[in-house]
């Protein structure tokens, strides 16, 4: 199949181009002008900024993809400029997705696969939720509420693109592995190594992790499948912070995280991370198993988190 990967220089997008080619697909990589030198080896490289409607349409129509994959975010900027990273990522999820849907349609693509997140659900009290759980669009933190609203808009645009352009949303769990925040050189690992990532008392918030290799594998499965809808792409072991954080610190060779009163967590960790460690729900991957035929090759974060 002719496949276009948007976000082809990314943590997931870059290895995805190689994985799709290894399956025999003809893959075009969409990159920005300034990132051209980091483009993966591909059957074609096309250049456009996804926020530039005209340029994106021209680039997509040049390669006439049958399937378009959206792996774009600006989260690489998180370390240096968190508000900027979230604001630009929200624009990519809203305007960028609208531009990509329009470009895919105009180029005659029949399928669109897009990256989303598995940790945007409102905490309802159930420890692990499926894809029908409502999103946390009214989160008390305005920044997270606007992130979740952008996620909801991306999902709705992809899933209602048109009868001719079928949509599938990959709601990735918290990524770990090379290039992620949880890699040894990544932002979260560095905070744990520096003793700056305490465990709020109880540590009851649940995280569903996902190794980058499994994110790539699920995207390949989504490209090759006819399934539509949103799917949690997570490992098989949703874990409370009280389990994974001490394990992560130990695997990194960091000191055990100190325990702090839960009420101090938002100030020390920021609202989102405090929520993640104290109240967030995990995500069940059962639907991806039955409807997409995808299962993680790394079913538990216990074998790998903090090791690379």
Ligand X SMILES: NC(=O)c1ccc[n+]([C@@H]2O[C@H](COP(=O)([O-])OP(=O)(O)OC[C@H]3O[C@@H](n4cnc5c(N)ncnc54)[C@H](OP(=O)(O)O)[C@@H]3O)[C@@H](O)[C@H]2O)c1
The residues of the shown chain that bind ligand X, judged by CB under 6 A, are: 7-13, 31-32, 35, 49-51, 71-76, 92, 117, 172, 174-175, 180-181
In the complex with ligand X, the residue whose CB is nearer, 73 or 285, is 73
In the complex with ligand X, the residue whose CB is nearer, 44 or 260, is 44
Shortest distance in whole angstroms from residue 118 CB to ligand X? 7
Query: CA separation (Å) from 145 to 108, 141, 142, 264, 305?
Result: 34, 6, 5, 21, 28
In the complex with ligand X, the residue whose CB is nearer, 56 or 199, is 56
On the CB side of 104, CA atoms within 13 Å amount to 33
SS3 230: strand
In the complex with ligand X, the residue whose CB is nearer, 72 or 281, is 72
Asked whether 114 and 165 are in contact (CB, 8 A), the reply is no
Cα 118 from Cα 219, distance rounded (Å): 15
Shortest distance in whole angstroms from residue 244 CB to ligand X? 14
Shortest distance in whole angstroms from residue 200 CB to ligand X? 20
Q: Closest residue (Cβ) to ligand X?
A: 10
Cα 126 from Cα 130, distance rounded (Å): 10
Asked whether 93 and 150 are in contact (CB, 8 A), the reply is yes
Shortest distance in whole angstroms from residue 49 CB to ligand X? 4
Shortest distance in whole angstroms from residue 263 CB to ligand X? 26
In the complex with ligand X, the residue whose CB is nearer, 151 or 242, is 151
């Amino acid at each position: 199949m002719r496949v276009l990967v948007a976000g082809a220089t990314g943590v997931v997008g870059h290895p995805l181009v190689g994985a799709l080619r290894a399956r025999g697909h003809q893959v075009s990589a969409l990159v920005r002008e300034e990132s051209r030198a980091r483009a993966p080896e591909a059957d074609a490289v096309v250049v456009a900024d996804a926020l530039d409607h005209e340029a994106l349409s021209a680039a997509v129509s040049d390669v006439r993809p049958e399937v378009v994959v959206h792996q774009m975010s600006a989260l690489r900027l998180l370390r240096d400029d968190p508000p900027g990273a979230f604001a630009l990522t929200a624009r990519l999820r809203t305007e960028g997705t609208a531009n990509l849907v329009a470009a895919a349609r105009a180029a005659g693509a029949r399928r669109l696969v897009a990256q989303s997140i598995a940790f945007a659900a409102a905490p309802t009290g159930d420890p692990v939720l499926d894809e029908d759980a409502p999103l946390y669009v009214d989160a008390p933190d305005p920044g997270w509420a606007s992130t979740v609203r952008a996620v909801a808009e991306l999902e709705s645009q992809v899933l209602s693109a048109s009868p001719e352009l079928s949509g599938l949303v990959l709601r990735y769990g918290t990524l770990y592995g090379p290039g992620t925040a949880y890699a040894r050189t990544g932002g979260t690992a560095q905070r744990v190594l520096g003793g700056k990532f305490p465990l709020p008392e109880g540590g009851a918030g649940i995280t569903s992790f996902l190794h980058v290799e499994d994110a790539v594998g699920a995207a390949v499965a989504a490209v090759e499948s006819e399934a539509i809808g949103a799917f949690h792409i997570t490992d098989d072991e949703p874990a409370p912070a009280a389990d994974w954080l001490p394990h992560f610190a130990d695997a990194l060779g960091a000191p055990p995280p100190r325990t702090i009163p839960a009420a101090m967590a938002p100030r020390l960790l920021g609202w989102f991370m405090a929520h993640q460690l104290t109240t967030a729900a995990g995500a069940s991957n059962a639907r991806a198993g039955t409807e997409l035929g995808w299962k993680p090759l790394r079913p538990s974060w216990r074998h790998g988190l903090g090791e690379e």
